[in-house]
């Protein structure tokens, strides 16, 4: 018996994504002061682990991850699966060696505003997740964030590029 049957599948996904988006702020409220200086390291590691775990999802669904353009597409798919359709953006550049993704709407920033908290708290989590996600999908590439909406920029911009040898 499916006990969640009265809740449509689309709504279940949205509720789960909303919960995952809320999680960094719940951690901050519950653990931030108690953990002290080590808080950022610990919560960052949680989301790095989550990012690395997504490589098995990419493999299971045969998402291409062989170059920067493939990785950009895989990141967009996996971020949307986990955190919902609240991410809006576009690829600015996508080649084998380098891809640039621009995000114009972020569910973490929206959640922070809804809660009345500093959206900058989401940066550590988001950055840890995305960089670990890219590295987990293809260890020959790295991701870096150039602009971040949670710090007041109009957009987020993430670059995926081949690591130098």
- Split into its structural domains, the chain has a count of 1
| The pLDDT value given to residue 2 | 59
Measured CA to CA in angstroms, residue 163 lies from 50, 67, 135 at distances of 22, 11, 10
Query: Is residue 4 included in any domain, yes or no?
Result: no
Query: Is residue 3 included in any domain, yes or no?
Result: no
Mean pLDDT across 145-154:
87
Q: How far is CA 112 from the centre of its chain?
A: 15
Query: Is residue 1 included in any domain, yes or no?
Result: no
Instruction: Give yes or no for residue 3 having a pLDDT over 60.
Output: yes
Query: Is residue 2 included in any domain, yes or no?
Result: no
Q: Where are the beta strands (DSSP E) in the chain?
A: 88-94, 98-105, 141-147, 156-162
Look up the CATH number of the domain holding residue 119: 3.30.1380.20
Q: Residues with Cβ < 8 Å from 94, sequence gap 6 or more?
A: 68, 69, 72, 73, 100
Measured CA to CA in angstroms, residue 16 lies from 72, 74, 108 at distances of 23, 20, 14
- Burial of 160 by CB count in 10 Å (0-12 exposed, 13-18 middle, 19+ buried)? buried
Q: What pTM was computed for the model?
A: 0.86
Taking only the tens place, the pLDDT of each residue in 56-98 is 999 999 999 999 999 999 999 999 888 888 888 888 999 999 9
Q: Residues with Cβ < 8 Å from 38, sequence gap 6 or more?
A: none
As a whole number of angstroms, the distance between CA 45 and CA 22 comes to: 17
Domain coverage including residue 61: 9-162
């Amino acid at each position: 018996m499916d006990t969640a049957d009265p809740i449509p599948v689309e709504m279940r996904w949205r509720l789960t994504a909303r919960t995952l988006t809320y999680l960094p702020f719940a951690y901050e409220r519950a653990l931030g002061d108690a953990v002290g200086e080590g808080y950022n390291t610990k919560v960052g590691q949680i989301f790095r682990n989550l990012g690395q775990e997504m490589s098995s999802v990419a493999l299971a669904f045969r998402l291409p991850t062989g170059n920067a353009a493939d990785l950009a597409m895989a990141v967009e798919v996996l971020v949307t699966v986990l955190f919902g359709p609240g991410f809006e953006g576009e690829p600015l550049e996508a080649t084998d060696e380098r891809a640039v993704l621009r995000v114009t709407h972020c569910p973490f920033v929206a959640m922070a505003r809804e809660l009345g908290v500093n959206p900058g708290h989401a940066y550590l989590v988001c950055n840890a997740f995305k960089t670990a996600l890219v590295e987990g999908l293809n260890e020959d590439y790295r991701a870096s964030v150039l602009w971040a909406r949670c710090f007041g920029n109009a957009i987020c911009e993430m670059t995926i590029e081949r690591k130098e040898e």
